[in-house]
Amino acid sequence: MRGDGDRRGSRALLAACAFLLAAIASSGCVSYVPRPNLVVNAAGTRIRVERLVRTVQLTELRLVIEYAEPGAHLAEIVLARANAEQCRFGWAPTAVVADGVASEPDKPLELRSGQRLIVSFGAELAPRVEKGVRLDLLTSHAGREDCVAIPITTGKDEHRWHRVGNAWSFDTALGGNFFTRSAGGVVGELPITFALARRFGESRVYAGGGIGAVFCSARTCPPEIMNEGTDNERRSPRVGLELPMLIGVDTMPWQTGPIAFGFAVEYDFDYVRLKTYDGMRSEWLQGPLVAPRIALTYPNPDAPGLSGGPALGFVALDVPVGVIAEHSDGWTVAPRIGMRLLMSVPF
């Protein structure tokens, strides 16, 4: 029976992890705008790159045809390596949409001033975009073909991108802390917390609250008696109510592939309600902690300005270490150490 329970617990944990990863994947739509503006004039055509959009499924380039000669057509469009010969070799898009209408494959697209194009490429080309690519457009007009080459990611300062949106994120964390000695009668806690975070560069400031359980020392609270009067009788610490509040700062400045490393600095205020030998009692716990962190997130692209990583959401494992204090009949301070699983979803 115990083995069945362990297996059910393992399956539930795996399902929870899969849900967290799916939630992050579904939230990973990130837009970038060029800094400075990316405009190319060539062969009587003026094209401005308005935005680059990355999702789990595809990479989109959104273009505006600021000027096109009457009768001009787009014969071919490809994504090429940044140092490749222009309009010779490249990867074809999965779709080209002009003013909301999908173009027909292998049919020249008429270009008009003010026209908006959305050019989509599959997720398999994302590593190419990170290494450096160029968008090549082969145009035709009056029997003449010309190449319009637009640098997208080259590693040069004049071809930088700036991420827009997703300054805020919503965090959910579940975990527990063990106190090495009693603080106001409490020897451990198991909270679930929710927080709003605001990004400032590579760091975030967050604040929130939640609900949880605390475990009371047998010296302060009568223990819970399970299966009383039977051969399986046992005692366990009495559980009390906890309403945690928190404020903190975190950062993850180190990343390799999809793994990021960082830490959080946090201060907690916890309202606790205990059933003691003398009756119900309320008290406040508070204290700082530092939590080293390892996170599973999006790879950080090499191309300048195409930020990835924690800015796009993550699942992290924290190991909080700190102290907790309670002041009723004088200060009692206890070291604490714990573990928590945290999910962050930008919006």
- Does a cis peptide bond (omega within 30 degrees of 0) precede residue 34? no
CATH 1.10.10.10 fits 166-346, yes or no: no
Going by C-alpha positions, the residue among 60, 19, 342, 58 that lies closest to residue 197 is 342
Distances (CA, A) of 316 to 190, 245, 262: 17, 20, 10
Q: Output 26 or 326, whichever has higher pLDDT.
A: 326
Question: Percentage of the chain with pLDDT > 70?
Answer: 86
Instruction: Output the pLDDT for position 256.
Output: 82
Show me where the domains of the chain are located: 30-163, 166-346
In CATH, 30-163 is 3.30.70: no
pLDDT in tens, 249-292: 999 988 887 899 999 999 999 999 999 999 999 999 999 999 99
What are the φ and ψ backbone dihedral angles of 12, each rounded to 5 degrees?
Answer: -65, -40
- Give the type of residue at 234: R
Amino acid at 182: S
Q: What is the DSSP string of 130-141?
A: HH-EEEEEEEEE
Highest mean pLDDT among 25-34, 178-187, 326-335: 178-187
| ∠ CA 194-199-201, rounded to 5° | 155
Give the model confidence (pLDDT) of 28-85 as tens digits. Answer: 567 788 877 889 988 788 999 999 888 777 889 999 999 999 999 999 999 999 888 9
pLDDT of 225-254, one tens digit each? 877 767 777 778 899 999 999 999 999 988
Q: What is the per-residue pLDDT across 124-161, written as a single tens digit (0 to 9) for each?
A: 887 788 788 999 999 998 888 999 999 888 767 667 77
Dist CA 182 CA 180 (whole Å): 7
